[in-house]
Amino acid sequence: MYKLLILLLCIITIHSCDKKEVNPDNFTTTTISLPTHKLTSYSIIKDTEYLIVFEAGLGDDHSIWNQKNLPYTISAKQDILLYDRAGYGKSEKGSAPRSIAKLSEELDSVINKFYNGRKIILVGHSLAGMIIRDYAIKNPSKVAGLLLIDPSQEAYNNPTQEQEDLIYNTFLDSYGADFGATMEARELIENSQYMATLPHLPNVPTIVLTSMKIDASHNESDRQSWYNAHELLKTGISDFTHISTTNSGHYIFIEEPNLVLDNLILLISKLL
């Protein structure tokens, strides 16, 4: 329970910081209308060979990626797409339940606005790891590669009802019932159960970055369990790269942006 409280504190602190847009004028804002609500996306589209799609974790809107200017930097090589899930940023509240299957379906609606028949590269952090995995499994013909940054994994992220209630109530008290993370947190147990039923990832180049940093809430044994859970993702993948770091915690792309950028460039190079 203590580890969960530390993680929640980390998410709440990151989310409450001033996530000022970097180079906002370079992004095109688009509204995607779904049957029940509207989502807002941010993109740089030049019709390059691949479209790189960034999916944020629980509690974070698209601007979390811009803290270290990662999307804009990589846009020199390939088109990029960011968006706010329902209940985040400028996107409207979505219909319940906010399950992985629903989030993956809405991701597909966003991608379909921009991919124009091209292959996509999916980048996901934390809970987004489950979302883009579900998407890749259901849309293998669209996906060229995956970069998973400290992704949630059902062999490790398997909360009790008490833990789910704690996360839900923390977001509820801090941001209200309509906030995206509040609604998503109510599905954490069901999400883990759902992910356990899915087949393996499609055989596309996949890179996983895992935080192995030892701190007050994560000892060596816990970090090894986290690493082992991520190792399970390689089944059936012929080009799988698993990189661990002890220099950053859960938000690797903020603490070590060059590590993420270098591996994103590496992933692109595998496809060219």
272 residues of the chain, pLDDT tens digit each: 435 544 554 555 455 444 545 556 689 999 999 999 999 999 999 999 999 999 999 999 999 999 999 999 999 999 999 999 999 999 999 999 999 999 999 999 999 999 999 999 999 999 999 999 999 999 999 999 999 999 999 999 899 999 999 999 999 999 999 999 999 999 999 999 999 999 999 999 999 999 999 998 889 999 999 999 999 999 999 999 999 999 999 999 999 999 999 999 999 999 98
Which pLDDT belongs to residue 18?
46
Which pLDDT belongs to residue 216?
85
Cβ neighbours of residue 18 closer than 8 Å, sequence gap 6 or more:
none
Please give the CATH number for the structural domain made up of 2-15+22-271.
3.40.50.1820
Residue pair 138/106 in contact by the 8 Å Cβ criterion = no
Residue pair 81/108 in contact by the 8 Å Cβ criterion = no
**Pairing mode, if any, of strands 119-125 and 50-55?**
parallel
Which pLDDT belongs to residue 59?
95
Q: Is 148 exposed, middle or buried (0-12, 13-18, 19+ CB in 10 A)?
A: buried
In the block, residue with structure tokens 């923390």: 170
Which pLDDT belongs to residue 15?
54
Task: Give the pTM.
Answer: 0.94
> What's the rounded Cα separation, in Å, for the pair 87 and 81?
18
What phi, psi does 81 have (nearest 5°)? -140, 125
Which pLDDT belongs to residue 89?
96
> What's the rounded Cα separation, in Å, for the pair 75 and 48?
10
